Amino acid sequence: MAERNFNLSVSESTLQNADAGTQARPRVLCVAPAWNEGERIARVVSAVPSEHVETTVVVDDGSTDETAGYAERAGATVILAGVNRGVGAAIRSGIDFAIKHGYEIVVVVSGGGKTPPEQIPRLLEAITRDGVELAQGSRYLEGGEFLRMPLRRRLGTRAYTLLFSLFCGHRVTDASSGFRAFNVSLFDDKEIDLWQDWLDRYELEPYLLFKALRRGHRVVEVPVTIEYPKTDGIAYTKMRAITDWWKIFRPILFLGLGIKR
């Protein structure tokens, strides 16, 4: 499996592999933020590999359809946000749940099915085997792929990743991927503060990757498939041009220039 490893040396990995054999299996929580996903959320929950994930939490971000009901019937624990706050706030609610209930690893998947949960073991392996703290899925690494991805998104994700790498000072291949797993202990670093109101929407995910890299945490990219679902026969995304693009861009601008922390 091809991986891009930022901060983990071979000697560290060897020591961590030896230690892993004597440790109990970590508790893993899967978080799926969802907004008006309907039946799609049931397929996502059902596809989460139970042999690797203890609990799946769906954070219903103010849906006006039956998302919560589909998720619950599929076996998920459902958190109702009440109003639409944004994907960042939804992920944060899942992290709060993990911290409160003693989970050690959180994996984030798309409630719409864009990040097939069958690939979760790839991300978890990087953490449990190699001892990294954040495993970021990449559709652009060797072994990764993208399906039904609109041309404007291909161009946009490539351009965004280039800008992210320049501002962050670390080269990555897929900065806009929402498919990742991380150790909850990452938040022992108080300089990584997800609990800021300006991170409620698309800002939280690039913020987390940027801060983890800048703070010297062990980060690796893992090849994954990103699959854009079909609606009425065409691929779709809920991200809006301009307004939402600004939301994912401003964390790297603010952090790169020291405007935010």
pLDDT digit string, tens, across residues 65-107: 999 999 999 999 999 999 999 999 999 999 999 999 999 999 9
Q: Is domain 26-255 given the CATH code 3.90.550.10 in the classification?
A: yes
Classify residue 240 by its DSSP letter. Answer: P
Residue 152: the pLDDT is 86
Residue 17: the pLDDT is 45
Strands, E assignment, 36-114: 55-60, 77-80, 105-108
Which is nearest to 186 in space by CA: 210, 159, 222, 153?
210
Residue 237: the pLDDT is 60
Residue 3: the pLDDT is 60
DSSP secondary structure of 130-169: T--SEEEEESSSTT-EEES--HHHHHHHHHHHHHHHHHHT
Dihedral sign from CA coordinates of 203, 209, 213, 217: positive
- pLDDT band for 45, please (50, 70, 90 cuts): very high
Containing 219, the helix (H) or strand (E) segment is strand 219-223
Number of H helices, E strands in the chain: 8, 12
Which is nearest to 174 in space by CA: 141, 210, 213?
141
pTM of the model: 0.88
Residue 230: the pLDDT is 72
Q: Exposed, middle or buried, 259 (CB in 10 Å: 0-12/13-18/19+)?
A: exposed
In the predicted model, what is the mean pLDDT of residues 155-162? 95
Cα Dmax for the chain: 51
Residue 35: the pLDDT is 96
